[in-house]
Amino acid sequence: MIPWLAAGDRFPPVERALAEPNGLLAAGGDLSAARLTEAYRNGIFPWYSEGQPVLWWSPDPRMVLFPPELKLSRSLRKRLKRHDYEVRADTRFEEVMRECAAPREGQSGTWITEDMIAAYTALHRAGRAHSVETWIGGELAGGLYGVALGRMFYGESMFTRAPEASKIALATLVRQLERWGYGMIDCQMPTTHLARFGASEIPRAEFMRKLATLVNYPDTARKWRLDDDLSD
């Protein structure tokens, strides 16, 4: 059994999360900026389908990417050097979320509901949620979004309309976060796609120890502006 969160209830310790399904910790509550910020500070994230209550997760192990461990394929390195694109941050946040929510081949639905879009857009206005966007020929070609607290970034989802557009956005983001002194990127669940970029699984206990330090750096809630030379 998992607890049901009423208004004002705190999250239970992540150690109480279920082993099956892996990481399910609690249900209920809301998606207010305060609730989401508390969740991320404690290694918890929402993930649920339309028609379900809000479900909160903290899986063990946890997929993470340490910025200095970024791996780029030879083809992507060549693509980055072509400079026939532009990478921007925080110019089309809601559009990026809606593209991430669009139906994909082999999927019957999406967990990025209208309530999620509204909640993260509010978090974006507060300077805590960010989008990184690849623009090609003046059009939004791919991108990703996530949440930043202290020197911790939590990746949420990505999309692409053009070959390698989302990869360009991810590579640019990781390079920028390393410059800014971010220590870890939360990838949540394991995927072979992110593993190719150097992401790996670590025990939840280790994740929580690192998180406790990184989220307590001085608050940096603001609109992002990326450096111009990140693809050099």
Looking up residue 173, the CATH number of its domain turns out to be: 3.40.630.70
Q: Whose CA is closest to 139, among 88, 77, 79, 82?
A: 88
- Closest by alpha carbon to 156, among 201, 121, 202, 208? 121
pLDDT value for 73: 95
Residue 112 shares a structural domain with residue 197: yes
Domain-located, residue 88:
yes
pLDDT for res 211 = 98
39 with 68, same domain: the answer is no
Residue type, position 88, single letter = R
Residue 131's domain comprises 63-214
Amino acid 132: pLDDT: 98
Spatial distance between the Cα atoms of 153 and 191, rounded to a whole number of angstroms? 17
Q: Do 49 and 141 belong together in one domain?
A: no
Q: Which two tokens stand for residue 56?
A: 């909160």
Say whether both 96 and 38 belong to one domain: no
Using the predicted structure, report yes or no on whether residue 107 has a pLDDT greater than 60: no
Sign of the torsion formed by the C-alpha atoms of 83, 88, 91 and 93: positive
206 DSSP 8-state letter: H
Q: How confident is the model at residue 14 (pLDDT cuts 50, 70, 90)?
A: very high
Tokens encoding 2 = 């998992």
Q: Which residues contact 171 (CB under 8 A, 6 or more apart)?
A: 70, 72, 76, 80, 197, 231
Average pLDDT rounded to a whole number, residues 150-156: 97
How many domains would you assign to the chain?
Answer: 2
Instruction: Dump pLDDT digits (tens) for 67-104.
Output: 999 999 999 999 999 989 999 999 999 999 999 999 76
